[in-house]
Amino acid sequence: MFFQFTDILGTIAFAISGALIAMNKRMDPFGVLIIAFVTAVGGGTLRDVMIGIEPVSWMRNMTFVYVIIGSAAFAVVFRKRISYLRKSLFLFDTIGIALYTVVGVETGLVAGLHPLICIAMGTMTACFGGVLRDILCNEIPVVFRKEIYATACILGGLTYFLLLQFFEDRNYLFVIAGLVVIIVRLIAVRYKISLPTLYKKDEDIL
């Protein structure tokens, strides 16, 4: 029950994130809904396809479809009250990757996959929807920039497995691992911590 609740919360966060960036690009209502939908289910769809779950989870449970439509509508109706659009987008995106990381890791565990593959599943679940969102909105995906994004998801997944032997109740693991993702991303943005670049300033690669 808590697992499904976490999945729905992640869906809400990512749907609002997608709707906000779509509105920032001045898309029409249909465009806003499509971007919200792709952002919310993109990572989970990739995960289910790779694991071999057919049909994918959101096709078997219409709750996710209704949640995405409702979240997109909420973002549209209250867009003027969601102050500081950039901060709101960052907040919902960060919450989304935290929740989807633990959902992806747990789904991998249920499928009997190796811990490293589970962490990869969690990271892909968290990041792929945002990648699709940014590509469709003509942006360089956040995960491909210097920002700490996928790294935070990996650290959250590692935390999940490190603490797995100490907690019988997985609910605590969900909360702790999710908080690790959020805290790492917040600290990285607050103190401008980023991954090292491969290129020197003004370097001509070709």
In-domain check, residue 74: yes
Structural contact between residues 118 and 153, judged by C-beta atoms closer than 8 angstroms: no
Domain of 101? 2-190
Instruction: Measure the CA–CA gap between 73 and 16, rounded to whole angstroms.
Output: 9
In-domain check, residue 123: yes
Which two three-digit tokens encode residue 166? 């100490």
In-domain check, residue 197: no
Tell me what the mean pLDDT of segment 64-85 comes to: 86
In-domain check, residue 174: yes
Q: Shortest CA distance to 104 belongs to which of 86, 124, 133?
A: 124
In-domain check, residue 205: no
Tell me what the mean pLDDT of segment 60-73 comes to: 95
**Predicted confidence (pLDDT) at residue 83 exceeds the cutoff of 60:** no
Q: Summarize pLDDT for 190-201 with one digit per residue, the tens.
A: 888 887 777 676
pLDDT for 88 equals 75
Q: Directed axis angle between helix 62-77 and helix 29-51, to 10°?
A: 150
Q: Which residue has the higher pLDDT, 86 or 33?
A: 33
Which pTM was predicted?
0.89
pLDDT for 193 equals 87
* Cα 79 from chain centroid (whole Å): 21
Q: Summarize pLDDT for 89-136 with one digit per residue, the tens.
A: 788 899 999 999 999 999 999 999 999 999 999 999 999 999 999 999
Number of domains in the chain: 1
In-domain check, residue 196: no
- pLDDT confidence bin for 86, thresholds 50/70/90: low
In-domain check, residue 206: no
Q: How far is CA 5 from each of CA 10, 19, 48, 66, 143, rounded to the nearest angstrom? A: 9, 21, 18, 14, 26
pLDDT for 15 equals 95
In-domain check, residue 203: no
Q: Shortest CA distance to 43 belongs to which of 123, 146, 115?
A: 123
Angle subtended at Cα 40 by Cα 96 and Cα 7, rounded to the nearest 5 degrees: 60
